[in-house]
Chains A and B, each alone.
Chain A
Amino acid sequence: MRRAVGAPLLVTGLLAGLLAPLVLLAVWSVTRTWRYPALWPQSFGDRAVRVVTDPGSQILSGLVTSAGIAATVAVVSGAVGLAAGRALGLHSFPGKGFVRFALLAPVVVPGITVSLGIQVVFIHYRLADTVPGVVLAHLIPATPYATLVLAAAYTRFDTAFEDQARVLGTSPLRVLVHVTLPALRPALTVAMMLTFLISWNEYVLTLLVGGGSVTTLPLLLFSAIGSGDTALAAALALVVSVPPLLLVGVTARALTGAGASTGSGETLAALGRA
């Protein structure tokens, strides 16, 4: 009760600290000139926005590359996680502890270590500098998260529902499609959203494995930052940020209600990685 005065002040400060950097980006993206020491741009212009939305630019192809890679990673790691999550969530087997440990290892060990080590194999099999190679590299951080989210969901899943369907004469495939998948849908949605984000935001793995030939949006953003064109970099930063924000917003809305709490802990852990 004594904090009644201090709390709103702290909250306001906190909100400002969290949002100011993003607001600043948005302002810069529509700036033409903003010279030191002005606190507000001298003039605005849509040059940067036009550049990043120009269909003929590299940005559009970067967007397509990024989205394609991230979607592939999401689908593959979602499927892989669906299978492995079942084994971890519903079965006990010798070596389960080791499997869990192995799945956590890619969370801890830096991606740069692994990609430097595997580069030689990728070059040998002509995966270096290719989109499939980048997809494979992105699967390394993505798969553990998908598996852990789905394993948590499986532990809450009652297999009696599957038994019930089997007893009623449903084939295993139809049980999967009509019983199991609908029950796991919230967790699967979360897992795929996360793995999409992990891939979408990945920089260093793409840089090393893609070798500059696979130009995703983060790579374009990095060179834009290096070029010194602040407005362009800011506009591009928004292009990179908006899809994840929309995705999280839409997913959160879709999950409100049924199973909203599904694996929230794992979800957040993965967002931290993204």
Chain B
Amino acid sequence: MSAAGPDTEQRAARRAGLRVAVLLAPALLVVVGLFGTGLGLGLLQSLGYQPYLPGWSWTTDAYTGLLDDRAVRASFVLTLRMSVLATAGSAVLALGIAMLVHSTRRGRRLLTAVLQVGLPVPHLVGALAMSLMLSQSGLLSRLAYAAGLTSSPADFPALTQDRFGWAVLAEYLWKETPFVTIVALTALARGVAPLQDVAATLGARPWQRFRHVVLPLVAPAVGAASVVVLAFTFGSYEVPAVLGRPYPAPLAVVAYQRFTDTDLAVRPQAVAIGVVLAVAVTALVAVYLRLLDRLGTAR
């Protein structure tokens, strides 16, 4: 016991390593076994590989098909625009609301509670609610009629199944802003107020306190939350499927359309769109994190 030689030490190290491996095995089985396999097979299939079929060959047909497809190009732009708008919009709104909640004394608890109500509700429910609010026969349209602004449903601007995707954006903002707000509030509660006091005693005006103290301190948390928003909105299917147009539709919707197409030849394109989605969202997140990093260190 007392004389632990190099042998014993090595054995102990090996046992510790084994222990870690055993503990991690189930999680890695899911992440590598399921997720990694799915991602890898997706990539291979988009290049022509067919694991259980004889006579397949490598090809980039799926990708050239996508490149030549105007619908897919439009869909890519639409997806990018919607995701970036939802991410930036929810981050800005959330910061504003968090500052407001942070500075109100009365009604603060109520507001925080209400902010959390929407969090566990599925996006699909949010999509239905938004269509009841924003469609041409929805509540807003009826309010516009009651206010004398419109005289028929057709007078009301099309916000659902429209070209821009207003209702889709509204649903994303309705669902994601509270989430980012709560994260920002959690960050604000972590000792930001005393630092604001210090800044004030050093001569910082209210705007300067926000810009040079609050913003840099909540940026990491809001940034992390925004990554989740960015990734989700980029790959979201059910919200645009309910509220958007079938054409041009976001990439996830197009991928599903091609996957269920009776023409089996376009199936590899579905998988290829999936790969494009994954690559694009990863690149977006990387760019976003880089931007955030620069914002944090910028003087």
Docked pose: A215 CA to B250 CA in angstroms:
25
Q: Is the CB of A87 within 8 A of B271?
A: no
Assess whether A111 is interfacial by the CB under 8 Å rule.
Answer: yes
Docked pose: A93 CA to B28 CA in angstroms:
15
Q: Is the CB of A113 within 8 A of B39?
A: yes
Residues from 211 to 231 in A contacting B, C-beta threshold 8 Å: 218, 221-222, 225, 230
B interface, CB within 8 angstroms of A: 16-17, 19-20, 22-28, 30-32, 34-43, 45, 50-52, 97, 100, 103-104, 106-107, 110-111, 114-133, 137, 139, 141-143, 145-146, 153, 174, 176, 178-180, 182-183, 186, 221, 224-225, 227-229, 231-232, 234-238, 241-242, 252, 255-256, 259, 270-271, 274-275, 277-278, 281-282, 285
Docked pose: A262 CA to B33 CA in angstroms:
30
Q: Of A18, A39, A109, which contacts B114 at CB under 8 A? A: A18
Q: Is the CB of B39 within 8 A of A25?
A: no
Which residues on B sit within 8 Å (CB–CB) of A259? none
Q: Of B17, B27, B221, which contacts A80 at CB under 8 A? A: B27
Q: Of B145, B238, B274, B277, which contacts A222 at CB under 8 A? A: B238
Docked pose: A84 CA to B275 CA in angstroms:
28
Surface stretch bound by B, among A48-56, A57-65, A181-189, A196-204: A196-204
Q: Is the CB of A140 within 8 A of B179?
A: no
Assess whether A244 is interfacial by the CB under 8 Å rule.
Answer: yes
CB distance from A215 to the nearest CB of B (A): 14
Assess whether A22 is interfacial by the CB under 8 Å rule.
Answer: yes
Which residues on A sit within 8 Å (CB–CB) of B231? 107-110
Assess whether A102 is interfacial by the CB under 8 Å rule.
Answer: yes
Which residues on A sit within 8 Å (CB–CB) of B41? 117-118, 120-121
Which of B117, B128, B282 has the most A CB atoms < 10 Å from its CB? B128
Q: Which 5 pairs of residues, A with B, have the shortest CB-CB distance?
A: A110-B235, A117-B42, A84-B27, A114-B38, A21-B129
Assess whether A38 is interfacial by the CB under 8 Å rule.
Answer: yes
CB distance from A30 to the nearest CB of B (A): 14
Which residues on A sit within 8 Å (CB–CB) of B107? 8, 11
Q: Mark A93-104, 1 if CB is under 8 A from B, else 0.
A: 100000100110
Q: Is the CB of B27 within 8 A of A81?
A: yes
Assess whether A210 is interfacial by the CB under 8 Å rule.
Answer: no
Q: Is the CB of B27 within 8 A of A147?
A: yes
Q: Is the CB of B186 within 8 A of A265?
A: yes
Assess whether A10 is interfacial by the CB under 8 Å rule.
Answer: yes
Docked pose: A265 CA to B39 CA in angstroms:
28
Q: Of A77, A111, A221, which contacts B125 at CB under 8 A? A: A221
Residues from 248 to 274 in A contacting B, C-beta threshold 8 Å: 248, 264-265, 268-269, 271-274
Which residues on A sit within 8 Å (CB–CB) of B121? 22, 241, 244-245
CB distance from B70 to the nearest CB of A (A): 22
Assess whether A167 is interfacial by the CB under 8 Å rule.
Answer: no
Q: Is the CB of A7 within 8 A of B27?
A: no
Docked pose: A200 CA to B120 CA in angstroms:
10
Docked pose: A205 CA to B195 CA in angstroms:
45
A114-B42, A117-B274, A272-B180 known, 15 other contacts, Cβ within 8 Å: A15-B111, A21-B129, A24-B132, A37-B142, A84-B26, A109-B39, A112-B256, A117-B43, A118-B34, A118-B42, A143-B27, A203-B124, A221-B128, A233-B128, A268-B179
Write 28 A-B pairs (CB below 8 A) sorted by A numbering: A7-B100, A15-B110, A17-B174, A18-B117, A18-B174, A18-B178, A22-B118, A36-B142, A36-B153, A84-B26, A93-B20, A105-B35, A109-B277, A109-B282, A113-B42, A113-B235, A114-B274, A118-B38, A120-B51, A124-B52, A137-B34, A147-B27, A207-B237, A208-B256, A225-B124, A225-B131, A225-B242, A273-B228
